[in-house]
Structure 1
Amino acid sequence: MGQNVLITGAAGYIGGSVLAEFVSRTSGSIPTAKINAAVRSEDQVQSLSGLGVNVIQLDLSEEADVLETILRNDIDIVLLASDAKALTGSQSSVTTLFSEEGGWIYGEVRDTDSIFEKEKELGESHPVRQTNIVVVEEASRQGVASYNLAIPTVSDGRGSGECRKLSVSIPQYVRTSIKHKTVYRFDKDGVSSSATLVGGKSQCTNTNQSPPAAHISDLTALYALLVEKIIQQEPFPSGKNGYYFAMAHRAPWWDVMDGIAKSLHARGLVDEDRVQVWQSDKMAAEYLGFPELYVRAMGTSTGELVPVNANRLGWEPKWDKERFLESIDDEVQAVLELDTVKATVFDALKTPSA
């Protein structure tokens, strides 16, 4: 018997692309499921109405409405692909939580490590970390499985959904560069220091730990893989052990900014093809519209992340660092063609003073 799947944020970049991936499937377990898509507005309902799925207008902040929707539609699996932060299902976290800039103090981390216990030790100072903890604990109390996909801040590629087709990070750098006629970068390019013991003396070495990244097509493939295995009732790590780093490769920020500068300068949209350094984190936050508290983590995060769980499931990303860097001009062109949505999922993280 097919199961009922609810995708939240189905008009967004990731949620919409996941929905498109599911709708396009003609084999496997996903076509046997009834797909429900949660969106915020009536316009979004109309945009998705021709996909052959049950589109639901839903405010995820209204707990009673969410519960009623789940019960009325007999939902079995929930995919939290929205900026609100999982019944059996998966939620989207972010990989920056596991970087030094994101408050991670434990160094190298595999998604097979005891991450939940470490997040508990760090406390709930970060709103996404707080969500991770709440989801695992509440799912355990309710007797359902939960899975946590840590999504890279650098998610690239044109979305395949009906509404939002652009990610957040790179498009915002492109917009900001055009507005100020200059491409900026941070003074750090994702290089982390590590100490090794040589001849009885500690020596400090630098290792290239650029931010994790993944193409949108690889992300949707991972979501589909997880849901296929849930529907088929295959046993795989969940709850406290159910962390999955959706990391296909790394994205060296300075190379990315150089690519953006060359692309925009060739189009006459910035004054120089050289990249300048932000004068301060405050300047970066003001120009980009990102919360100052997290802007450095979002723009320089390193993180010694080692993805294991997703690969064990059989995830095989098609994109690597070289292919990503070669596509920067396409990323710029996508912003120029598709930039109709200026809202950012990071608005919810801004403090009143930001």
Structure 2
Amino acid sequence: MVQNILITGAAGYIGGSVLSDLLATSSSALKGVRLYAAVRTQEQVQALSKLGVNVIQMDISDAETATEAVLKNEIDMVVHTASSILADIPILLIQALGQRRQVSGKQTYFIHSSVITIYSEEAGWPAGEVKDTDPLFQKEKELASQHPVVKTNIAVVEEALKHDVKCVNIAVPTVYGTGTGQWRKLSVSIPAYIRVSIEHKIVYKFDKDGSPPAVHISDLAELYVILVEKILQEEDIPMTETGYYFAMAHRAPWWQIMDGIANALYARGLVPEPKVHIWPSDEMAAEYLGFPAAYIRAMGTASGNATPVNAYRLGWQPKWTQEKFLESIDDEVQAVLDFDIGNTNIFKVLHPSEN
């Protein structure tokens, strides 16, 4: 039986919101469970300590530190929200969970956070509908893609099988809304467009419209909590090779979003016109937004044909629709003005010269 859960990236947008929801839930499944929050700085330790959780300041990329954190605190489950693009980190954590399993004799679990846009043609995935009930792990291996997210997905499953750790993979789409954590309140993508538009006094969009999967942060955090509850209750749910979950509530039509951003910024006097211009080049878009140039088309124009099945079978019922989202674009702009603490550094490990 799981007793101790470690959340990585607990000061981040997703991790902080998941931690907040876990603390707020009245589910009997979490009764007696101790939550541990992994953070990077002393400031974050102080911010999260008031929540009444066990806060650990640590470098999760260090093997000795990761192993000590899992074994010393008797961690049975890791909810990993810190990174989807560095395979070394989940490998270390899964290895530590494998050691914990050997010591305790109990099953251990790893919840991984991935990215849904890799299942689009722009990212190298074959055309046609893709469901999270499809044999995604086998297909990822067949494609032999060099995309860091795909390589990390494969590494997570292979390492979990090697160490007899059960894992699930939450494929995260475009996320919006204000987070409920104690530190970072904003997502990456939409705030980046707003920030850049304000800085350069002009709103840009790509020459091709995209409509990628999307989800509100509250609905996404709820999915994490549902998965944690199902695991704690030892329910028979898809895991490891079949444990993929598309966290998709609806689609995000980029051109309509950019129109909404332009209107909201113009109404505040932050841009001189409510018109949206086409990016002069993908290279300029990558430079301004701080996104990797190699993946900028997939990030800015992909729609994909992803269909979520597994998450809904768990009983997940997202409350936010596409219509409700588009009506809230003004709130997205205001949230950046209220809570922005600068651009994320999650892409710097891929292309440090581009950020």
Query: Would the TM-score normalized by the shorter structure come out above 0.5?
Result: yes
> Which residues of 2 match residues 1-354 of structure 1 at below 5 A?
3-83=3-83, 84=86, 85=90, 87=97, 88-152=109-173, 154-190=174-210, 210-350=211-351, 352=353
> How big is the shift at 1:353?
6.0
> How big is the shift at 1:71?
0.6
May I ask how many residue pairs the two structures share in their alignment? 334
Q: Can you list the C-alpha shifts for 1:278-319, whole angstroms capped at 9, x where unaligned?
A: 111101011111111111111111110000000001100000
Distance 2:203 2:31 in 1: 45
Give the residue type in structure 2 aligned to 1:116: F
Q: Once structures 1 and 2 are overlaid, which stretch shifts more, 338-347 or 264-273?
A: 338-347
Supply the RMSD in Å over aligned alpha carbons.
1.3
Amino-acid identity (%): 58
Distance 2:175 2:41 in 1: 25
Distance 1:78 1:37 in 2: 10
Distance 2:318 2:110 in 1: 22
1:196 corresponds to which residue?
none
Distance 2:113 2:212 in 1: 17
> How big is the shift at 1:132?
0.3
Give the residue type in structure 1 aligned to 2:25: R
Distance 2:2 2:293 in 1: 45
TM-score normalised over the length of structure 1: 0.92
Contact 2:287 2:354 in 1 (8 A): no
Q: Can you list the C-alpha shifts for 1:95-115, whole angstroms capped at 9, x where unaligned?
A: 111011111124210000010
Distance 2:278 2:233 in 1: 50
Give the residue type in structure 2 aligned to 1:161: G
Distance 2:32 2:114 in 1: 27
Give the residue type in structure 1 aligned to 2:134: D
> How big is the shift at 1:346?
2.2
Distance 2:284 2:341 in 1: 25
Q: Which ranges in structure 1 are unaligned for 5 or more consecutive residues?
A: 191-209
> How big is the shift at 1:124?
4.3
TM-score normalised over the length of structure 2: 0.91
Contact 1:8 1:15 in 2 (8 A): yes
> How big is the shift at 1:352?
4.2
Distance 2:275 2:354 in 1: 32
Contact 1:23 1:31 in 2 (8 A): no
> How big is the shift at 1:30?
2.1
Give the residue type in structure 2 aligned to 1:175: R
Give the residue type in structure 2 aligned to 1:97: I
Q: Can you list the C-alpha shifts for 1:207-240, whole angstroms capped at 9, x where unaligned?
A: xxx1000000000000000000101111100111
Contact 1:96 1:298 in 2 (8 A): yes
1:199 corresponds to which residue?
none
Change (3 A) 1:223 1:291: same
Distance 1:132 1:80 in 2: 13
Distance 1:107 1:66 in 2: 40
Q: Once structures 1 and 2 are overlaid, which stretch shifts more, 53-62 or 118-127?
A: 118-127
Contact 1:186 1:300 in 2 (8 A): yes
> How big is the shift at 1:2?
5.6
Distance 2:2 2:66 in 1: 22
Q: Which ranges in structure 2 are unaligned for 5 or more consecutive residues?
A: 98-108
Please give the secondary structure, in 2, of the residue aligned with 1:269: coil
